[in-house]
Amino acid sequence: MTADTTAWHKTACILCENNCGIQIQTDGRRFTKIRGDKEHVATGGYTCNKALRLDHYQNGGARLTTPLRREPDGSFTPVDWDTAIREIAARMKTVRDTHGGESIFFYGGGGQGNHLGGAYSGALLRALGARYRSNPLAQEKTGEGFVDAHLTGGHTTGDFTRADVSLFLGKNPWQSHGVPRARTVLKDIAKDPSRSMIVIDPVRTETADLADIHLQVKPGTDAWCLAALLGVLVQEDLVDHAFLAARTTGAETVLEQLRTVDVASCAQTCGVAEDLLRRAARRIGTATSVATYEDLGVQQGPNSTLVSYLNKLTWLLTGNFAKPGAMQPHSWIAPLARYSTSPRRTPVTGARMPGGLVPCNVIAEEILTDHPDRFRAMIIESANPAHSLADSAAFTEALAALDLVVVIDIALTETGRQADYVLPAASQFEKWEATFFTFEFPHNTFHLRAPVLDPLPGTLPEPEIYARIIRELNAVPRGRLKLLHAAARLGRTPYKLAFAALAAVDKSTFGMAPYLLYETLGPTLADGARSGAVLWALAQGIAKQYPAAMRRAGHANADALFDAMLNGRSGMTFTEDEYADAWNYVPHPGHRIPLPIPELLGLLDALDTTPAVHTSDDFPIVLAAGQRRAFTANTIFRDDTWRKRDQQGALRISRYDAEQLGLLDGAFARITTKRGTAQATVEIDDRLQAGHAALPNGFGLDLPTDDGGTERTGVALNTLTDLAWRDPIAGTPWHKHVPARIEPLPA
Ligand SMILES: Nc1nc2c(c(=O)[nH]1)N[C@H]1C(S)=C(S)[C@@H](COP(=O)(O)OP(=O)(O)OC[C@H]3O[C@@H](n4cnc5c(=O)[nH]c(N)nc54)[C@H](O)[C@@H]3O)O[C@H]1N2
Ligand SMILES: Nc1nc2c(c(=O)[nH]1)N[C@H]1C(S)=C(S)[C@@H](COP(=O)(O)OP(=O)(O)OC[C@H]3O[C@@H](n4cnc5c(=O)[nH]c(N)nc54)[C@H](O)[C@@H]3O)O[C@H]1N2
Ligand code: SF4
Ligand SMILES: [Mo]
């Protein structure tokens, strides 16, 4: 875009949900220098070690530059875009006309750095009559979402910059972030003698090193640990009665049950000294504010939905909602999930769909059946489920059973290799992009990124790909587009009126809005920001839902907000809340939080008889299949050379187990689970307790070699995992708790 190699281009890191603002210098298509953007509204110049390696995303892997079509003999043929779009639209129509639009299933729509393209997928689904979708949230966050729907009615985040007590539960923010500017925030807490950090993790993580209290549970026993903490809070009367009376309903039901918790026995089950548990509970119960973060260590482990509930009770019973340093609700640019206390069910297995998403672990079961309502086609965008979902073999078999699989990605991935068509997308630095990870309170921010480079020839941004398919489907009468085109030329107000008039005569206008906006408003936007058109609708939504907070953030109306979104190269604040507003986010009667969730209280009641140990003589080790490390980043880099350390993706085991198994540092080991086997290099890690081992996520990609083959480094984790090993409520996998056997292998 510019030949000036000293110009700094503002954008953001795409490797985790924090999307730190960065600046990049380029030379041709290479990224020569990367640094934090000090002006960024959310991250102020912060980055971790990984952002500096982003050239390996942009230039490291083998990019796709033409659509590919699978031939009857299984090989791929490059085809031109017109052919690909024409054939895909025709085959989608056939599936729809034969089996109904609801048999077309959508997966993905964005990763850690790109949600703007996915915002256009809804219009395609609407045009096809498709009703089911899913994404990676349905293999981690949907249990939490189910609990949130019942309690606060929506997502909450912790205010860790101010919390008196910060609790990290199965979360290692030192490595995985999630908390903006995590390392700075963690160090600040550790330095401040008046504030405390509590970490619940079987591993003595880098975060635990900074903690005041580390509850080093046995893997998979968090439900007992939290039950004990809650038992102490209630039995020692450390709950906030005024808050419970004024702001919640049903508290007595919950308190009554927690009065009966046997703290000593729970302490025994989770392997933490009762004294230490009591000390942690007292610190929480007497804190001026408490913020918690639960993540994969519990969300992908046994009793995950129950654990989410118990986590939320720790801060609710102590009145830690909607005040500084506590848990906060927040506005959204676009909600990432639908919150419902009685979610829809899937068509074949009848699984609950918390968040409106098909649980990832049932997808294969929804396909591999002769049930008439099975899925027949899949559109997969910005995700690599053949690698990232449990039981890769089952998922691959499921893909093969479909009539049509279309994958939209920048590279030929493990999933793309199973597709009928692969469509090459422009990279996240070659197009307008944004994420909807807008989780902050009271200042909530959004960042629309401008392209750093032109699209690689042959690639297209996702909004254009969706638009081309919708055009080919003839889904919108030409007259409507003409009307909106004419209105867009006249200005924003006529456009808004024309849009409202269309919506009044035809409700489907809302569902098709992303496409309509892309076609008509999009071309009028400056600097080729056509993909930003959908933000116009989102701005209208914000103006309607959070008018006061929007005005406090300095935007007089939806149009002003839209312009601020388009122009904020270092991000922008779209809402500024006040603490009193927080209660308006609670959608329940009287804005009160209903505390009892009978189904989960039932599981709590049954803990006495619930197994806490899932290992056996055959599989005696608990394997955490997917540890976040300094050099892992899901499968976003398709280039193993980006890693400065841990290039092989070591199997970390405790010294005790290494000695028992006769394994030395650097030796080879075989890992066997109920589902598969793999090999890895051993690293003895004193942070791990006996009986616990960990493999990193993001390894085991099949990367192309010069001779036309592929090569794999490290373990493709989901060759080891099992579909059935999942939460009974949310269907989320228990990847952090895979029973395994580890054996020495000759080098
Ligand atoms: N470096 C890096 N950062 C990332 C990513 C990445 O690939 N690499 N991926 C991003 C994504 S998609 C996500 S979802 C987040 C995930 O972020 P995290 O959830 O923080 O990551 P994990 O390392 O999977 O698990 C967190 C912790 O859970 C602990 N754990 C394991 N078993 C148990 C248990 O039984 N109980 C408890 N209490 N803890 C347990 C582990 O020891 C680990 O320290 O990270 C994001 N950030
Ligand atoms: N066993 C085990 N499995 C796990 C986990 C674990 O801990 N253990 N972690 C799970 C978690 S929390 C998550 S979030 C998932 C992540 O797994 P996935 O949801 O599969 O996501 P990513 O690995 O982030 O892959 C993103 C894909 O997007 C592509 N991509 C990058 N940029 C673009 C773009 O601009 N456009 C398009 N169209 N594509 C692009 C990349 O090439 C890649 O194929 O993995 C899950 N799987
Ligand atoms: S914390 Fe690190 S990985 Fe996450 S967005 Fe910031 S720089 Fe990227
Ligand atoms: Mo994730």
| Spatial separation of the C-alpha atoms in residues 638 and 641, rounded to whole Å | 9
pLDDT at 137: 98
Q: In the prediction, which pLDDT does 746 show?
A: 82
Sign of CA dihedral 381, 386, 391, 396: positive
Please identify, by atom number, the ligand 1 atom nearest to the C-alpha of residue 207.
Answer: 44
Ligand 4 centroid from CA 270, angstroms: 26
Whether 205 is in the pocket of ligand 1, judged by its Cβ within 6 Å, is yes
Shortest-distance ligand to the CA of residue 54:
3
Cα of 176 from ligand 2 centre, angstroms: 15
Give the position, in ligand 1's atom list, of the atom nearest the Cα of 632.
8
| Closest ligand 3 atom, residue 12 Cα | 5
Domain boundaries, the chain: 9-59, 68-130+376-435+450-576, 142-331+590-606, 614-744
Which has more pLDDT, 1 or 107? 107
Of 260, 245, 161, residue with least CA distance to 608: 260
Q: Which residue out of 47, 54, 185, 429 has the highest number of ligand 3 atoms within 8 Å of its CB and is therefore the one to mutate?
A: 47
Ligand in closest contact with the CA of 723: 2
Q: How far apart are CA 727 and CA 354, in angstroms?
A: 12
CA-closest residue to ligand 2 atom 8: 626
Tell me how far the alpha carbon of residue 49 lies from the centroid of ligand 4, in angstroms.
Answer: 19
Does residue 310 have its Cβ closer than 6 Å to ligand 1? no
Tell me which CATH code domain 68-130+376-435+450-576 carries: 3.40.50.740
Per-residue pLDDT tens for 594-606?
A: 999 999 999 999 9
Taking the CA of residue 408 as reference, the ligand 2 atom at the shortest distance is: 38
Ligand 2: does its nearest atom lie under 6 Å from the Cβ of 736? Answer: no
**Ligand 3 pocket residue status of 14, Cβ below 6 Å:** no
Ligand 2 and 111: CB distance under 6 A = yes
Q: Are 233 and 285 in contact (CB under 8 A)?
A: yes
Q: Is 203 in the pocket of ligand 1 (CB under 6 A)?
A: yes
SS3 156: coil
Q: Ligand 3 in contact with 54 (CB < 6 A)? A: no
- Which residue, chain included where needed, has tokens 């003409």? 482
CA distance 712 to 715: 8
* Dist CA 716 CA 726 (whole Å): 19
Total number of residues shown for the chain: 747
Question: What is the rounded distance in angstroms from the CA atom of residue 737 to the CA atom of residue 747?
Answer: 27
CA of 467 to the centre of ligand 4 (A): 28
Ligand 2 lined by 388 (C-beta under 6 Å): yes
Residue of the nearest CA to atom 2 in ligand 3?
Answer: 48
Centre of ligand 4 from the C-alpha of residue 244, in Å: 33
Confidence band, pLDDT 50/70/90 cuts, at residue 3: confident
pLDDT at 422 over 70: yes
185 Cα: distance to centroid of ligand 2 (angstroms): 27
DSSP 336: S
Using one digit for the tens of pLDDT, what is the confidence trace for 313-350? 999 999 999 999 999 999 999 999 899 999 999 999 99
Q: Is the pLDDT of residue 2 over 70?
A: no
**Ligand positioned closest to the Cα atom of 632:** 1
Give the Cα separation of 466 and 7 in Å (integer): 33
Q: What is the pLDDT of residues 386-416, one digit of tens each?
A: 999 999 999 999 999 999 999 999 999 999 9
The verdict on the CB of residue 296 being under 6 Å from ligand 2 is: yes
Q: Which range is least confidently modeled, 45-54, 85-94, 612-621, 738-747?
A: 738-747
Ligand nearest to the CA of 218: 1
Q: How many angstroms is it from 47 CA to the middle of ligand 3?
A: 6
Q: Model's pTM, two decimal places?
A: 0.98
Q: Give the ligand whose atoms come closest to the C-alpha of residue 298.
A: 1
Q: Kindly give the distance from the C-alpha atom of residue 698 to the centroid of ligand 4, in angstroms, as a whole number.
A: 11
Strand partners, 446: 572
Ligand 1, atom 41: closest residue by C-alpha: 297
Mean pLDDT of 730-742: 98
| Cβ of residue 48 lying under 6 Å from some atom of ligand 3 | yes
Task: For 63, list phi and psi in degrees, rounded to 5.
Answer: -85, 155
Ligand 2 centroid distance, CA of 160 (Å): 27
Cα–Cα separations (whole angstroms), residue 633 to 509, 568, 620, 661: 38, 27, 29, 30
Measured from the Cα of 628, ligand 2's closest atom is: 7
Q: Mean pLDDT over all residues of the chain?
A: 97
Which residue puts its alpha carbon closest to atom 5 of ligand 3? 19
Task: Enumerate long-range contacts of 66-69, CB under 8 Å, 24 or more apart.
Answer: 66/424, 66/458, 67/421, 67/422, 67/423, 67/424, 68/412, 68/416, 68/419, 68/421, 68/422, 69/420, 69/421
SS3 705: coil
Helix 492-505 / helix 513-520 crossing angle, nearest 10 deg:
140
Q: Assess whether the C-beta atom of 634 lies below 6 angstroms from ligand 1.
A: yes
Residue to mutate (ligand 3; options 11, 18, 40, 43; most atoms within 8 A of CB): 18
For a ligand 1 pocket test, name from 47, 307, 310, 736 the mutation site with the most ligand atoms within 8 angstroms of its C-beta: 736
Under a CB-based contact definition with an 8 Å cutoff, are residues 171 and 158 in contact? no
- Does domain 9-59 match CATH 3.40.50.1580? no
Atom 22 of ligand 2, residue of closest alpha carbon: 635
Is the CB of residue 635 below 6 angstroms from any atom belonging to ligand 2?
Answer: yes
Q: How confident is the model at residue 1 (pLDDT cuts 50, 70, 90)?
A: low
91: left (phi over 0), alpha (psi -120 to 50) or beta: alpha
Closest CA to 529 of 461, 427, 436: 461
What spacing in Å lies between the alpha carbon of 167 and ligand 1's midpoint?
Answer: 15
Ligand 4 centroid to Cα of residue 136, in Å, is 6
User: Contact at 8 Å (CB) between 466 and 492?
Assistant: no
Output the CA angle 307-287-152, nearest 5 degrees.
45
Q: What is the pLDDT of residues 156-175, one digit of tens each?
A: 999 999 999 999 999 999 99
Residue nearest to atom 19 of ligand 1 (CA): 296
Over its C-alpha atoms, the chain yields an Rg (Å, rounded) of 25
Give the CATH number of domain 614-744; options: 2.40.50.100, 2.40.50.90, 2.40.40.20, 2.10.109.10: 2.40.40.20
CATH code for residues 142-331+590-606: 3.40.228.10
**Ligand nearest to C-alpha 425:** 2
In this structure, the residue with its CA closest to atom 46 of ligand 2 is 388
Going from the Cα of 204 to the center of ligand 1, the distance in angstroms, rounded, reads 13
- Nearest ligand to the C-alpha of residue 139? 2
